[in-house]
Structure 1
């Protein structure tokens, strides 16, 4: 797989239409309600030509409604939708230079793969048969399905059907491709393979991709930028590294990956946080409004937590450390995951590279510690706690 740096070096000079704005997407103060419930709230979003942007968030956050407004299947109550610089919010789907790939492949069962791909072209005027054959052949080659051209969909695997759905959308050469959780129905291994293929395909084509998913790993692995949505708004939009390493809100911190959360109060002029059973030192002081000990929530990622053996009765008054007992051990490929019940009542999750992990068994006395640079601090009022091991 290409590195991110190589990928941008290849595509930055080759984005189709980047100079004239072809393939750009913009939402301006877009709002949408259903039955008096607002699901998209004054949303502003810009997507660059040739960019792979993912809309990520839990069910009900407004990501699919946003995509449907781009596609033309829903009209905004207010605001503007622009594709390639032109306002399209009042245009039907077939008059927008976009195509949509859905979770359900919606292939015609009585048609061959080639006929499914050609269907949209045959509905358009001005495209002769030779041009249709050429473009279908190109699309089949693009998704590596040439040898299946004469098969019917019921003789294809799920991944192959998804490739056909992609080819059917791409054969029209849209400036923007919209993808609504297209990999959700695939098994894990096939889904991971298709993630790589999608990323490489988009890299080669230079087409703008707007991808909707609730799967954080999917979004992080493929996207140039990720827009994390909550309650119809964008909580943070940035490149995957920034979203993961520097979450803007506690919601983003908890939704992207997993976190150990501790409630506490600011101490020592903002240089430390007092939590139940210990003190958390910070790499940089935090500022809080007013005076006194402000309530905050501290977040530390599991991979930042070191787990070492401790004496059975060893007290530990160290900062950024909590003693406890191993409650569970799980092997996650090349990573060992420990669930530790801290003496102070916290439940900690730690993930350690398998080759670096000690042989700690359930019931072992341990010390969990972390560096000040791995601590994130958020206001207490907007920080829903996610249980350890919960799906993200």
Structure 2
């Protein structure tokens, strides 16, 4: 991956009648990058993908691919390929014919098509005997590989993926996610991937773009999005979290002081590097992810503690999730590695602690 931008989107608006689906979206995607677009239904992520692909025209704004303005360039002439949620394989064509179809449209020779189809089945680890079969004779995962092979055969500069794994069962989805990561690494094509699966976005993407109501709220690496969210919406959307009310009382050098009716903290201060931009004196929220909270005793060497009662226990094999309620009614989520025994029991009173290097302070806002 290089720092050069292959895709540049500048102030793109898209309206359907009076409904604004995109409200001034700007985004640069680097050559060879894997970027995921996430957000709630109706946020504009698929609309944005359609603008890039050329299936729809933007109301205003500019989309450039490799520096070329795409205004007026039809989808068939753009250096892009798209894989849809519904794979749209042609049922009357064999696997070989499906994969080679984009080259047939470009009037490539039969020998060139056959050679590139062979390359694609090796890349996608499909068995040669599948070439003469029809899509209905393949499993869901095999059909997905065929759709990816068809999308890659014309050597696109940008591969656009619109939730292609959403209809698969959990086990098969995990396999295909690994295949998608391998494919991206081996071919070096830039991927723009729309998904509702936040874990998938965290696993696959170099950067994640969080959208809401036609706008981009935050763009960053997965760890930044997860541990340093721009606001409370991003914090709650990208995984479960705890938002504990505090009050900012002042700033001194590199430290921000605070008070809290919930948190036991002898220092009552956090490093300013752990405070989001725009947080002012007054009401604020201390964010701490569930996996960063642990059971401790009253004298434990942790920076912050809360006394609470365990209200729910959820065992998930690899992890155990707890819900606890503080003496003042604050609800907390805790997640630990799964064990053969439960370290906390339903109804038990416990001290829960965490360290300040693991927190992030946000402005209050809509979650």
Does TM, normalized by the shorter one, top 0.5?
A: yes
Paired residues for 1:234-383 under 5 Å: 234-267=216-249, 269=251, 271-278=256-263, 281-285=268-272, 294-308=282-296, 320-355=304-339, 359-380=343-364, 382-383=365-366
Structure 1 residue 68 and structure 2 residue 50: aligned?
yes
Aligned to 1:387: none
1:191-219: CA deviation from partner (whole Å, max 9, x where unpaired):
11111110111110011111111211111
For residues 170 and 290 of structure 1, what CA distance do their matches in structure 2 show?
A: 46
Moved more, 267-276 or 333-342: 267-276
Q: CA deviation at 1:289?
A: 8.0
Query: Which of these residues, 75, 84, 87, is aligned with residue 102 of structure 1?
Result: 84
For residues 341 and 220 of structure 2, what CA distance do their matches in structure 1 show?
A: 33
What TM-score comes out, normalization by structure 2 length?
0.90
The count of aligned residue pairs is 358
Aligned to 1:176: 158
Cα RMSD after superposing both structures: 2.6
For residues 41 and 96 of structure 2, what CA distance do their matches in structure 1 show?
A: 35
Q: CA deviation at 1:158?
A: 1.0
Structure 1 residue 195 and structure 2 residue 177: aligned?
yes
What TM-score comes out, normalization by structure 1 length?
0.85
Moved more, 174-183 or 280-289: 280-289
Gaps of 5+ in 2: none
For residues 185 and 248 of structure 1, what CA distance do their matches in structure 2 show?
A: 31
Q: CA deviation at 1:119?
A: 1.6
Structure 1 residue 44 and structure 2 residue 26: aligned?
yes
Q: CA deviation at 1:271?
A: 3.5
Q: 1:282 touches 1:375 (CA, 8 Å); kept in 2?
A: no
Distance of aligned partners of 1:289 and 1:78 in 2 relative to their CA distance in 1, 3 Å threshold: closer
Q: 1:297 touches 1:383 (CA, 8 Å); kept in 2?
A: no
**3-state secondary structure, aligned to 1:191:** helix
Structure 1 residue 137 and structure 2 residue 118: aligned?
yes
Q: CA deviation at 1:261?
A: 1.2
Structure 1 residue 89 and structure 2 residue 71: aligned?
yes
Q: 1:282 touches 1:373 (CA, 8 Å); kept in 2?
A: no
Aligned to 1:5: none
**3-state secondary structure, aligned to 2:176:** helix
1:343-388: CA deviation from partner (whole Å, max 9, x where unpaired):
11011100112349753221111111211222211111x341xxxx
Q: CA deviation at 1:241?
A: 2.0
For residues 225 and 106 of structure 2, what CA distance do their matches in structure 1 show?
A: 42
For residues 282 and 62 of structure 1, what CA distance do their matches in structure 2 show?
A: 40
1:303-351: CA deviation from partner (whole Å, max 9, x where unpaired):
11112478xxxxx9x9722212111112223222111122110111001
Query: Which of these residues, 138, 145, 150, is aligned with residue 163 of structure 1?
Result: 145
Q: CA deviation at 1:237?
A: 1.2
Query: Which of these residues, 219, 233, 240, is aligned with residue 215 of structure 2?
Result: 233
Q: 1:309 touches 1:364 (CA, 8 Å); kept in 2?
A: no
Query: Which of these residues, 186, 191, 196, is aligned with residue 168 of structure 2?
Result: 186
1:73-118: CA deviation from partner (whole Å, max 9, x where unpaired):
1111111111121111322111111110000011111211111111
Q: 2:321 touches 2:333 (CA, 8 Å); kept in 1?
A: yes
Q: CA deviation at 1:131?
A: 0.3
For residues 276 and 35 of structure 2, what CA distance do their matches in structure 1 show?
A: 33
Gaps of 5+ in 1: 1-11, 311-315, 385-392
